[in-house]
Amino acid sequence: MPELPEVETVRRGLRPLEGATLERIIVRKCQLRRRVSVAALHNLAGGVVAPLGRRAKYLLIPMVNGGGMIIHLGMSGRLFMANPGDALDPHDHLSWWLKQRGATIELRFRDPRRFGSVTVLQQGDLRKHPLLANLGPEPLGNEFTADYAFARSKRSRRPIKNALMDARFVVGIGNIYASEALWRAQINPKTAICRISRRRWGKLVWAVQDVLGRAVSDGGTTLNDFYGASGDPGYFQTRLRAYGQRGEPCHRCGSLIRRISQAGRATYYCVSCQH
């Protein structure tokens, strides 16, 4: 599933849409993870796209006069600008046609598994939508600090990896980047968060921000079917040191990377230097 770096990569790739006028929308299949409101989508026609945003793993496409769309890519969703005359894929469920300085742009949403979602807000601030109301701080923002994490973790015994993947604690960190950050911070993913000192939280916050920052610079991670808005894959997978490395020697100490299951998700770590 696309995580923060992948969604941020898509947002940056779609910047040419900013200032464009939305002329028409074609909905070929409205039953995604949640049913798309066709009428609400069509009501956005004629509006001008404001600067794009991102909150957690959601892409925000606001309109200048308020409202807009909140898009989640799900497990296999792609949002990209199609070339004129490109053939339709059977999984191209929605198309938006926009006009920018006399040129026509077609934006498509392709989602083979249909776990993605397109939520429409007719007016108001997208960031105040109930989908985003109870989310934790952005990991690359000023609110995610060692003091914040230490204060939130004093009374909880849940494993640190589970906490990192809880969007109420901090947003946008999925399975890949949680494993990578814990490897960099040399923290065992099974460690109860109440046992992590403020000093170690400082190291982990740095590791989270370093991993996510590098992944954004590399255009995300492409393991299966993630591609950016331009159709290019991400390249952060070449930097992976823990995730997917079961049985490989640790890049730091040489011990073998182990794979376990936590909350139904695969976790990769080094038993020797993560403690």
Beta strands in 103-177 (DSSP E): 103-110, 117-121
52, 18 Cβ separation under 8 angstroms: yes
Q: Which of 2, 62, 137, 189 is catalytic?
A: 2
Query: Which spans in the chain are helix H?
Result: 4-13, 38-42, 146-153, 160-164, 175-185, 198-217
Quote the DSSP letter at residue 127: G
Angle at 67 between CA 62 and CA 73, to 5 degrees: 55
Set 11, 54, 55, 57: catalytic member: 57
Q: Check if the beta carbon of residue 226 is closer than 8 Å to that of residue 220.
A: yes
CB contact at 8 A, 117 and 34: yes
Beta carbons within 8 Å of 245's beta carbon, 6+ residues apart: 257, 268
Catalytic residue among 3, 6, 8, 180: 3
Q: Does the annotation mark 57 as catalytic?
A: yes
- Identify the active-site residue in 190, 203, 214, 265: 265
Residue 35 annotated to the active site: no
Active site residues: 2-3, 57, 265
